[in-house]
């Protein structure tokens, strides 16, 4: 019964998402950047950075393009699909073959009553596994004996037994090792190709300020900070985007799709970083996406923004997607704080500087597009009563006794001649979900007559 209800709610929620996209004109899937965009952007591997003495210009090195990286990732996923079972077995073996203590048993030791409340010594049973650690919060354990203080009433002391994971799961570890040792040759080769492939390494975006018009890092300080990186690719605009005037169209193509590249961001500290328009834009988007890997600036306003975005409202027991009153109230408050923080940063963005003033309109459009896509819609309280209703169907009135504090979805307003009843109710749900809720109610629970 629970499964059917959950499936029905999920289906209606999915239908509501489609309805909302149709209403807001967001129908269809986003095609994303064109193939030419991915072929233009170059990625620099961390191993290449170690060999550089300064950042090379886009045209001065032959690194991997983002299109080649995406193709390599697709091939890597196909290899993983071919050896899914061996990969799972290897991961399971890595999780079990460790020295981490794992609790495997809880025993109850009876402690008899004593009027004198004397200290008792109880011999504990021999543990079934080697290197077992026993813990008891009611007493102390020494040399396999429990030292506990008796009380006037008999009780039970709980003793928790733990041992290293590799000892507890010794049999399963042996089986997994034999399974991996007897793999066919082609699966071994596939696993080796997966281990040696660089396409499993993530791509990091470097947000930094240009120190001069000719070169972003003439002193080499930024390169020195990035050289300790390993097993990753980086996007550094001077080395990853076309810089010569002959490639102006390619550069504009990259700039108009910058939102796609800003993921897993490293923010490098430099003088006047927060005075530059591109830097503020990248910092805001990285904070809104909560995808900052390293932040050397840690501006308090930006830290607050990303903390708010990373906050998840815990589910409230007894509430569903059609009645999220308390959860909606908490989420609305968080969203309001996010909007206030963004509005606090926008004046700083308007006063920022651009080397090419034409970039201001590009960055403004990019920022506006991403904020509209990221910021969630407000969950509104839709009030309805006998005097007027926004949705078809019978208006409902709450006649249950009212309480001085907010209770469930009931409104605290008291109307009518009876001061102990509530004359209206509020629903905490998006308007499109409200409409679907009415449709569901009229289809499943038709009114009599």
pLDDT digits (tens, 9 = 90+) for 319-372: 555 555 677 778 888 888 888 898 898 889 889 999 888 899 999 999 888 888
Mean pLDDT of 265-278: 92
Q: Which residue has the higher pLDDT, 392 or 216?
A: 216
pLDDT tens digits along 150-178: 888 899 999 999 999 999 999 999 999 99
Tell whether the model's pLDDT for residue 83 goes beyond 50: yes
Confidence of residue 195 (pLDDT cuts 50, 70, 90): very high
Tell me the percentage of the chain whose pLDDT exceeds 90.
Answer: 54
| DSSP tag of 59 | G
Measured between alpha carbons, how far is residue 107 from residues 123, 125, 143 in Å? 13, 9, 17
More confident residue, 115 or 1: 115
pLDDT of residue 100: 94
At 361, is the secondary structure helix, strand, or coil? helix
Single pTM value for the model:
0.71
Confidence of residue 380 (pLDDT cuts 50, 70, 90): low
Structure confidence at residue 152 (pLDDT): 87
| Per-residue confidence (pLDDT) for residue 316, from 0 to 100 | 67
Q: For residues 401 and 420, is the Cβ–Cβ distance under 8 A?
A: yes
Show me where the domains of the chain are located.
Answer: 1-29, 30-77+199-374, 101-170, 380-449
Question: At 263, which helix (H) or strand (E)?
Answer: none
Dmax over CA atoms of the chain, in Å, equals 95
Q: Check residue 172 and give its pLDDT.
A: 95
pLDDT digits (tens, 9 = 90+) for 392-420: 443 344 444 444 433 334 444 434 444 33
Q: How far apart are CA 48 and CA 229, in angstroms?
A: 10
Mean pLDDT of the region 93-106? 94
Average pLDDT, the chain: 80
What does the pLDDT read at residue 318?
62
H or E element in which residue 341 lies? helix 325-350
Q: How far apart are CA 98 and CA 169, in angstroms?
A: 10
List the structure tokens of 23: 């209403």
Go through 275-302 and write b for each residue having 16 or more CB atoms within 10 A of its CB, e for each that does not.
ebbbbbbbbbbbbbbebbbebeeebeeb
For residues 87 and 81, give the distance between their C-alpha atoms in angstroms, rounded to a whole number.
9
Nearest to 96 by CA among 197, 180, 192: 180
Kindly report the number of other CB atoms within 10 A of residue 341's CB atom: 20
């Amino acid at each position: 019964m629970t499964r059917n209800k959950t499936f029905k709610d999920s289906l209606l929620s999915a239908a509501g998402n489609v309805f909302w996209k149709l209403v807001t004109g967001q129908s269809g899937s986003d095609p994303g950047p064109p193939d030419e965009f991915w072929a233009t952007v170059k990625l620099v591997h961390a191993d290449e950075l170690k060999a550089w003495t300064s950042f090379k210009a886009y045209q001065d090195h032959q690194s991997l393009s983002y299109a080649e990286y995406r193709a390599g990732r697709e091939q890597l996923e196909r290899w993983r699909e071919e050896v899914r079972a061996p990969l799972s077995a290897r991961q399971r073996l890595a999780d079990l073959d460790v020295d981490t203590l794992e609790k495997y048993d809880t025993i109850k030791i009876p402690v008899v009553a004593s009027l004198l409340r004397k200290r008792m010594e109880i011999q504990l049973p021999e543990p079934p596994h080697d290197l077992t650690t026993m813990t008891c919060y009611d007493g102390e354990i020494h040399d396999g004996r429990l030292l506990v203080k008796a009380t006037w009433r008999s009780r039970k002391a709980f003793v928790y037994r733990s041992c290293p994971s590799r000892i507890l799961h010794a049999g399963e570890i042996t089986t997994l090792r034999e399974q991996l040792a007897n793999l066919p040759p082609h699966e071994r080769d596939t696993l080796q190709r997966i281990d040696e492939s660089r396409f499993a390494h993530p791509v990091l975006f470097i947000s930094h300020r240009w120190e001069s018009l000719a070169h972003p890092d003439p002193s080499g300080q930024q390169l020195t900070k990035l050289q300790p990186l390993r097993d990753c690719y980086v996007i550094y605009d001077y080395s990853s985007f076309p810089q010569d005037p002959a490639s102006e169209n390619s550069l504009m193509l990259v700039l108009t799709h910058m939102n796609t590249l800003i993921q897993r961001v490293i923010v490098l500290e430099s003088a006047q970083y927060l005075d530059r328009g591109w830097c503020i834009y990248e910092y805001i988007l990285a904070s809104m996406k909560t995808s900052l890997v390293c932040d050397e600036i840690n501006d308090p306003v930006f830290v607050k923004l990303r903390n708010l975005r990373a906050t998840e409202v815990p589910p409230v027991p007894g509430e569903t997607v059609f009645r999220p009153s308390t959860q909606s109230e908490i989420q609305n408050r968080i969203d309001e704080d996010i909007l206030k923080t963004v509005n606090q940063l926008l004046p700083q963005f308007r006063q920022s500087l651009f080397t090419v003033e034409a970039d201001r309109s590009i960055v403004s459009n990019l920022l506006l597009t991403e904020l509209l896509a990221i910021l969630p819609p407000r969950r509104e309280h839709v009030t309805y009563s006998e005097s007027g209703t926004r949705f078809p169907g019978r208006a409902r009135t709450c006649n249950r006794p009212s309480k001085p504090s907010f209770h469930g979805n009931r409104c605290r307003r008291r109307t009518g001649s009876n001061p102990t009843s509530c004359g209206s109710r509020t629903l905490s749900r998006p308007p499109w979900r409200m409409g679907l809720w009415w449709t569901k109610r009229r289809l499943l629970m038709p009114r009599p007559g």
